[in-house]
């Protein structure tokens, strides 16, 4: 949509803005912000630090490499439009050396840049100008993905999920119906679908889903999870079917009751 600027004014900081519980006891994540504008760089670093992350600013590729030599980097926020170099080239260079998660920062509406960045191995993207909650949600989501799986964090996100003829490519936010049509989802629906697809045949509690959807939505209530599920079902043509793909487990949560394959 054209006007999907952040409509919610920044909220007072709450628990959801900081690193989530599981990582709170371990040493804080180290994030490098690659951004040529000094103001934005400094402010982002400050904001991330306030939320409990370790953050370093880098104005370009040289400085980034230097930082990566000195210490481990858990996440890179990379601006695609740098003053002297191409962010896409830099993204490719990083990927050749390391599988560290990358979140691209692109100007809003530059679809081509975004897809090119994802093709080069970036994990997620965020459109400029973004707000505090948007960037923190992305950072949290990418870090959780890298840390929560029981495989080493350097294994990249699965590229494609297949279920009941549907295909979902999470990095591109692309859902294809069995007949090959692109089906548009809202950001919150993407997050929800991805969570369900990662844990097929398992009941996922409302609280967990709520926590995930809060990452993007302004006012998450318990009810809005049900609303989200019903919207998703409608788009998946799952609304009136006798054996729905997304099954409701009363009092507990939801379950994706289909087989999911990858690749």
Partner 1 sequence: MILQRVLPRGMVARLALVLVAALAIEFAGNLFLDEWRERGLLTDQRTHRIAEQLANADQVAAQVDRQRRPSVMADMAIEGMTLNWVPGTVITDSRTAHPQLVRMHDQLLTLAPTLVGRDLRLSLIPSDDRGERDLLGALRIADGSFVTFRVRPFLGSPPSPAMTRLLHLLLIAAVLGAALLMMRALVSPLRKLAELADATGRGAAPDGAVDETVDGPWEVRRVATAFAEMQARLLQASEEHTKALIAVSHDLRTPIQRLRLRTALLKDDEPREAMSADLADMEKFIASVVGFMQCGAEEEDRLIDVAAIVMTIVDNAADTGAEIRYEGPDELLIRLKPLALKRALGNLVDNACRHASHVRVTMRRGNPIVLSVDDDGPGIPADQRDEAFVPYRRLNAQPGNGNSGLGLAIARKAAAQFNGSILLEQSEMGGLAAQITIPVPRPKVRA
Report the nearest approach of partner 1 to the CB of residue 213 (Å): 11
β-strands 30-34, 75-79 pairing: parallel
Residue 67 vs 217, nearer CB to partner 1: 217
Kindly identify the residues of this chain, within the stretch 157-216, that bind partner 1 according to CB under 8 A: 177, 179-186, 188-189
When asked if residue 10 is in the footprint of partner 1 (CB under 8 A), the reply is yes
When asked if residue 231 is in the footprint of partner 1 (CB under 8 A), the reply is yes
Among 139, 217, 246, 258, binds partner 1 (CB under 8 A): 217
Residue 95 vs 169, nearer CB to partner 1: 169
Among 52, 109, 165, 205, binds partner 1 (CB under 8 A): 109
With helix as H, strand as E and coil as C, how does the chain read? CCCCCCCCCCCCCCHHHCCCHHHHCCCCCEEEEECCCHHHHHHHHHHHHHCCCEEEEECCHHHHHHHHHHCCCCEEEEECECCCCEHHHHHHHHHHHCCCCEEEEEECCCHHHHHHHHHCCCCEEEEECCCHHHHHHHHHHHHHHHHHCCCCCCCCCCCCEEECCEEEEHHHCEEECCCCCEECCCHHHHHHHHHHHHCCCCEEEHHHHHHHHHCCCCCCCHHHHHHHHHHHHHHCCCCCCCCCCEEEECCCEEEECCCCEEC
Stretch that binds partner 1, among 40-48, 58-66, 142-150, 242-250 (CB under 8 A): 40-48
Kindly identify the residues of this chain, within the stretch 83-102, that bind partner 1 according to CB under 8 A: none
When asked if residue 155 is in the footprint of partner 1 (CB under 8 A), the reply is no
Distance CA 93, CA 95 (A): 5
Kindly identify the residues of this chain, within the stretch 129-148, that bind partner 1 according to CB under 8 A: 129-132
CB 57, CB 41: distance < 8 Å? yes
Report the nearest approach of partner 1 to the CB of residue 228 (Å): 9
When asked if residue 60 is in the footprint of partner 1 (CB under 8 A), the reply is no
When asked if residue 44 is in the footprint of partner 1 (CB under 8 A), the reply is yes
Binding mask 11-30 for partner 1 (x = CB under 8 A): -x------------------
Report the nearest approach of partner 1 to the CB of residue 10 (Å): 5
Sites of contact with partner 1 (CB under 8 A): 1-10, 12, 37, 39-40, 43-44, 46-47, 50, 107-109, 111, 128-132, 177, 179-186, 188-189, 217-218, 231, 234-235, 237, 239
């Amino acid at each position: 949509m054209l006007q999907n600027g952040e409509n919610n004014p920044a909220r007072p900081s709450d628990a959801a803005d900081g690193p989530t519980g599981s990582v709170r006891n371990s040493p804080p994540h180290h994030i490098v912000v690659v951004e040529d504008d000094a103001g934005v760089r400094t402010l982002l670093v400050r904001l991330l630090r306030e939320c409990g992350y370790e953050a370093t600013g880098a104005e370009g590729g040289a400085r980034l490499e230097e930082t990566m030599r000195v210490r481990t980097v858990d996440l890179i926020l990379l601006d695609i439009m740098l003053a002297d170099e191409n962010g896409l080239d830099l993204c490719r260079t990083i990927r050749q050396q390391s599988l560290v998660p990358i979140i691209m920062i692109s100007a809003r509406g530059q679809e081509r840049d975004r897809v090119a960045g994802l093709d080069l191995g970036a994990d997620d993207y965020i459109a400029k100008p973004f707000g505090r909650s948007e960037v923190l949600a992305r950072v949290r989501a990418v870090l959780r993905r890298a840390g929560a799986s029981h495989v080493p964090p350097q294994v990249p996100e699965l590229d494609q999920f297949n279920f009941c003829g549907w295909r979902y490519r999470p990095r591109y936010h692309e859902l294809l119906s069995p007949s090959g049509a692109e089906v548009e989802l809202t950001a919150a629906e993407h997050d929800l679908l991805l969570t369900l697809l990662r844990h097929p045949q398992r009941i996922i509690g409302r609280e967990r889903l709520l926590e995930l959807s809060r990452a993007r939505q302004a006012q998450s209530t318990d009810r809005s999870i049900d609303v989200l599920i019903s919207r998703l079902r409608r788009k998946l043509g799952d609304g009136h079917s006798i054996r729905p793909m997304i099954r409701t487990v009363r009092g507990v949560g939801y379950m994706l009751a289909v087989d999911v394959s990858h690749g």
